[in-house]
Amino acid sequence: MAGKSRLWIVVVSWVLASCAGAPTTVCYKVDPLLKVFPENTAFMDAPDTLDAAVNTHVEFQFAIHSSAAVEEFTVECGDLVGPGGARVPAPRCGVVGYVGVGDSMDEPAHDVLRSATGLFPDPILEQESYSFAPFTTFSPWITVYVPEGTPEGVYTAEVRMKGEAGGRKFSFREDINVKVWPVTMRTPDFPNVNWAFDFDGCMKQWNGGVQVEKYSAEHEEYLRQLYGMLAEGHQTMTRIPVWDVVGMQKKSDGSWEFDFTRFDWYVNICEEAGILHSLQVEELGHRLVPLWTSPMGLFVPVEIDGKITKETYPPDHPAVEDFYSSFIPALRDHLKETGWADRCYQQICDEPIDVNAESYCQTVDLVRKYWPEMKVLEACQTTKTRDAIDAWCPQMNYWHENYDFFKDRQAKGDEVWFYTCCYPHHEYPNRFIEQPLLKTRMLFWMAHKYRADGYLHWGFNCWSEDPFRETVMPGTGTMLPGGDAWIIYPAYRKMLRSIRFEQHRDGLEDLTLLQMLAEKEPGTADALVNSLITNWWVYVGNPETYRQTRRELLKALTSCDE
């Protein structure tokens, strides 16, 4: 009743003040697992206190609505203070921005989110001040990190928000509370990779519309920021490019010469960022023609007008044998010399399906002639690749449909990852903008339930020319739903998190806590997961229920350590 009473008081006050001509500005505390749209004006009360383990993140969200244009809005927060004066460092403060989703996803789930304005919340803006149109709701966003060594207890800070609405100053002061449990999360080590790109267009977006010269100081800074974002999201693997970075030259005597200097440049930056537990070498081939059912082939470098490019040939083409008989031994020897061979996965041809599985196997057979121990990690939608794949990575719905097969492969020593991309749709969890945020976290609770060995997503930052106005990749219709191609955003010489990025990172933290509990009480860990997830299509959608279960997870870990 208290929540309903407060809502009626706010609504009545807003109506009376609007009639009197004075601008009205109201503030709500909103669960950060709920997306706030610009047209929203009423909200359920959010929890006053959120739970955290040491070394994890927790977020807070507010919703502010004003009947007048808002100018010079700022949000800030100091350290959180706990028992005996112990402190958690001041959180990151920002405001959630709105983006467009031009083509709504097809085959949506029952809980798909729709926007009356066509605008969806996603990027976390970090500016000195913000401005908003009248009758628009906007969301200050607070991200707290609880560092190593923080004592247990409840920590409190005051979030200070102020601005001008219709020429009148306003301010709000709201407490945030974090209950830190006596549980320290270890560094997440669940294998996962988002393909991150330094395409010319991506770097141009980051550089304010000015092209970045390849391998310049600006290019290096771009990569350090990009890989830093991957590290913040607990990524453990990086996909390293080959075709644009390895020097390839055919000498006059017909032999091949290779230069791995720039390849090493990428790998070293990854290693410095802490995201090189293992590496995935870029694909060596693709479909022979741009048809989904086309046979697979392998790339071969060719010189056209004095420039090296690549063409795709079937695996029995003489040019393929000529090139790969030199390139694979050179790649193998270089990786062994640098100490990276044992943590290397090779991608061969992306996403084989049943009708081209045999041609895929032929490409692998040819490559393995020159490196039999090569470990192949492949996104796939087939079970017919014989022993060509060591680390299977089926699309989530294909994993579901062939779960017994993949479980058997694990029993025989193979790894089974899973991936999401433009699919699956329906009720499967994914991380599209039009889906509730909780689905992104559920990806990793499902990873534990079904014993995945890793996770892959293709699009970390494959930005369009206007990634804020349109989050569906232009020209793809509904094939790449909003947000599928990127989960972070470009700003001038910096990169912005999104609320989906935050929940993806937090989902990996949840999974790490579940793994810690499973090592001591596997039955308890499974019971907690099963209380949220019935099956692939039926899982919790209520943030309050999720938070109660996560609290039970922290309780169980606390009991294990007593």
Per-residue confidence band for 201, with pLDDT thresholds at 50, 70 and 90: very high
Residue 356, pLDDT above cutoff 70: yes
CATH code, domain carrying 110: 2.60.40.10
pLDDT digits (tens, 9 = 90+) for 256-278: 999 999 999 999 999 999 998 99
Residue 359, pLDDT above cutoff 90: yes
Residue 3, pLDDT above cutoff 80: no
Is 173 found in the same domain as 290? no
Please give the mean pLDDT across all residues of the chain.
94
Is 341 found in the same domain as 267? yes
Is residue 543 in a domain?
Answer: no
434-440: average pLDDT? 97
Q: How does strand 285-287 pair with strand 489-491? A: unpaired
Q: How does strand 247-250 pair with strand 256-259? A: antiparallel
pLDDT for res 103: 86
Is residue 537 in a domain?
Answer: no
Is 266 found in the same domain as 127? no
Is 200 found in the same domain as 141? no
Residue 22, pLDDT above cutoff 90: no
- Structural domain count, the chain: 2
180: Cα separation from own chain's centroid: 25
Is 286 found in the same domain as 253? yes
Name the pTM for this structure: 0.94
Q: How far apart are CA 88 and CA 111, in angstroms?
A: 36
pLDDT digits (tens, 9 = 90+) for 492-542: 999 999 999 999 999 999 999 999 999 999 999 999 999 999 999 999 999
Q: How does strand 70-77 pair with strand 153-165? A: antiparallel
CA distances to 45, 64, 139 from 75, rounded to whole Å, are: 20, 12, 10
Is residue 536 in a domain?
Answer: no
3-state secondary structure of 562: coil
pLDDT for res 21: 65
Is 254 found in the same domain as 212? yes
Is residue 526 in a domain?
Answer: no
Per-residue confidence band for 424, with pLDDT thresholds at 50, 70 and 90: very high
Residue 322, pLDDT above cutoff 70: yes
Signed CA dihedral, 37, 40, 44, 48: sign only:
positive
Per-residue confidence band for 325, with pLDDT thresholds at 50, 70 and 90: very high
pLDDT for res 468: 96
Residue that is last in its domain, among 464, 498, 532: 498
Is 180 found in the same domain as 196? no
pLDDT for res 12: 46
Is 328 found in the same domain as 347? yes
Residue 13, pLDDT above cutoff 90: no
Percent of the chain whose predicted confidence (pLDDT) is above 70: 96
Is 305 found in the same domain as 197? yes
Give the Cβ contact number of residue 165 at 10 Å: 21
pLDDT for res 9: 45
Is 360 found in the same domain as 220? yes
Per-residue confidence band for 11, with pLDDT thresholds at 50, 70 and 90: very low
Weakest mean pLDDT among 91-95, 310-314, 321-325, 471-475: 471-475
Is residue 221 in a domain?
Answer: yes
Q: Kindly state the tokens that stand for 342.
A: 């044992």
Is 144 found in the same domain as 216? no
Residue that is last in its domain, among 151, 184, 217: 184
Residue 562, pLDDT above cutoff 80: no
Domain of residue 309 covers 192-498
Q: How far apart are CA 434 and CA 105, in angstroms?
A: 8
Residue 561, pLDDT above cutoff 80: no
Is residue 550 in a domain?
Answer: no
Residue 259 β-bridge partners: 247
Is residue 310 in a domain?
Answer: yes
377-387: average pLDDT? 96
Residue 457, pLDDT above cutoff 60: yes
Residue 119, pLDDT above cutoff 80: yes
Residue 408, pLDDT above cutoff 60: yes
* 256 in Cβ contact with 326 (< 8 Å): yes
Is 341 found in the same domain as 444? yes
Q: Kindly state the tokens that stand for 203.
A: 């770097």
Residue that is last in its domain, among 184, 207, 232: 184
pLDDT for res 164: 97
CATH code, domain carrying 248: 3.20.20
Residue 305, pLDDT above cutoff 50: yes
Place of tokens 């006059």: 252
Is residue 561 in a domain?
Answer: no
3-state secondary structure of 368: helix
